[in-house]
Amino acid sequence: MTLPFIAVFFGLALLVWSADRFVEGSASTARHFGMPPLLIGMLIVGFGTSAPEMVVSAISASQGNPGIALGNAYGSNITNIALILGVTALISPIAVHSQVLRKELPILTGVTALAAWQLWDGEITRFDAVVLLCVFAGLMAWTIWQGMQKKADALGSEVEQELDVRAMPIRRAVFWLVVGLVSLIVSSRILVWGAVEIAHGFGVSDLIIGLTIVAVGTSLPELASSIIATRKGEHDIALGNILGSNLFNTLAVVGIAGAIHPMAVGPEVFNRDILVMAVLTLSLFIFGYGFRGPGRINRIEGAVLLACYVCYTAYLVTTVLT
């Protein structure tokens, strides 16, 4: 069992490194070809930070391990809100603006409801997957259209400044783009193999491994970027990063995996994981409205989120041991 554990940790480390190289290389390449900074921020960086979940779930589904694919997507959503936002808020309270409460959070809540409705019959068919991918494409097109209407969007200027610092020759940019993409695929295969071997060795389901080890590992880029953004006072980016990642996971990651390999889903996913994901999403409304002052996720609420993650993980471990 030693080799599978080594494979998981090595695969996770290589996955995080390759995702960073992929984002840096693709963003610089896009900049060389004249893509607006706003679109680079929305498309290249947005897709790049969720690339680990996407590649891991796609490979898991193609190899006949849908439990890892689904657990990775929904487990990452739970990890993003409970663990990452919890830790980030403990470091520095996160401001929640009214626009997030009016637009982003309602959209994420609606998408979560769609995921629950699709799992009601205990499977994700290719038709379900196509619906998820169509909704994702529509949301991306709408977001890009809205962003292009705002000429001085803060996201665009910030990404432009970041890319000015990281400017590199086109050959080097393409090199890191290719290396990052290849490394993503290789590291994902290593990670999936190790996770499957660990699951079989301990007699647990692929779903549990996907919800825990794989989900935390593929969420590391979001953890790093959220902490850095919060320490710089960029609360919008920290919260937006999590909400965008959850949308991507629920729609694109599950959609791609389901299109590759339709998945039969056990009742525990609906009764346990989707329920926890929905409750955590709704909790952001409660924290964000700020009944006693400006909306924000303070340190106490961050501790509550973190405690929820610990209890959820403990429950999964207890389920495995009993």
DSSP 14-66: HHHHHHHHHHHHHHHHHHHTT--HHHIIIIIIHHHHTHHHHHHHHHHHHTT-H
Q: Are 233 and 97 in contact (CB under 8 A)?
A: no
What pLDDT was estimated at residue 214? 84
Most confident region among 14-28, 136-150, 191-205, 265-279 by mean pLDDT? 265-279
Give the number of other Cβ atoms within 10 Å of residue 209's Cβ. 29
Of all residues in the chain, what percent carry a pLDDT higher than 70?
Answer: 83
pLDDT at residue 203, rounded to an integer: 80
Please compute the mean of the pLDDT values over residues 115-120 and round it to a whole number.
91
Average pLDDT of the residues of the chain? 81
**What are the two backbone dihedrals, phi and then psi, of residue 308, each rounded to the nearest 5 degrees?**
-60, -40
Range of weakest confidence among 61-75, 80-94, 96-110: 96-110
Phi, psi of 291 (to 5 degrees): -65, -20
Q: Write down the pLDDT at residue 35.
A: 61
Distances (CA, A) of 98 to 9, 278, 302: 40, 20, 19
**Tokens representing residue 248 in the block:** 């991507």
* pLDDT tens by residue, 229-256: 777 676 666 787 788 888 989 999 999 9
Q: Which residues pair with 297 in a beta bridge?
A: 94
pLDDT at 167: 61
Q: Domain coordinates of the chain in residue numbers? A: 2-321
pLDDT of 161 reads: 46
Mutual angle of helices 105-118 and 235-248, in 10-degree steps? 20
Question: Where residue 26 falls among pLDDT bands split at 50, 70, 90?
Answer: confident
Residues 6 or more apart whose CB falls under 8 angstroms from that of 212 comprise 71, 75, 313, 316, 317
CB count within 10 Å of CB 201 equals 11
- For tokens 């607006």, what's the residue? 36
CATH superfamily of domain region 2-321:
NCX, central ion-binding region (1.20.1420.30)
Q: Looking at the predicted structure, is the pLDDT value of residue 51 above 50?
A: yes
Lowest mean pLDDT across 15-29, 146-160, 205-219, 284-298: 146-160
Q: How far is CA 156 from CA 35, 136, 152, 215, 315, in A?
A: 11, 22, 7, 29, 42
- Angle, vertex CA 185, rays to CA 316 and CA 108, nearest 5: 50
- Nearby residues of 36 by Cβ (< 8 Å), 6 or more positions away: 148, 156
pLDDT in tens, 165-223: 456 788 888 888 788 878 878 887 888 888 888 877 888 888 888 888 888 877 877 77
Inform me whether the pLDDT recorded for 100 exceeds 60. yes
- 109: pLDDT strictly greater than 70: yes
Of the listed ranges 32-36, 98-102, 163-167, the one predicted with least confidence? 163-167
- ∠ CA 185-191-196, nearest 5°, is 125
Residue of 114, 121, 163, 119 whose CA lies nearest to 136: 114
CB 178 within 8 A of CB 38: no
pLDDT band at 280 (very low <50, low <70, confident <90, very high): very high
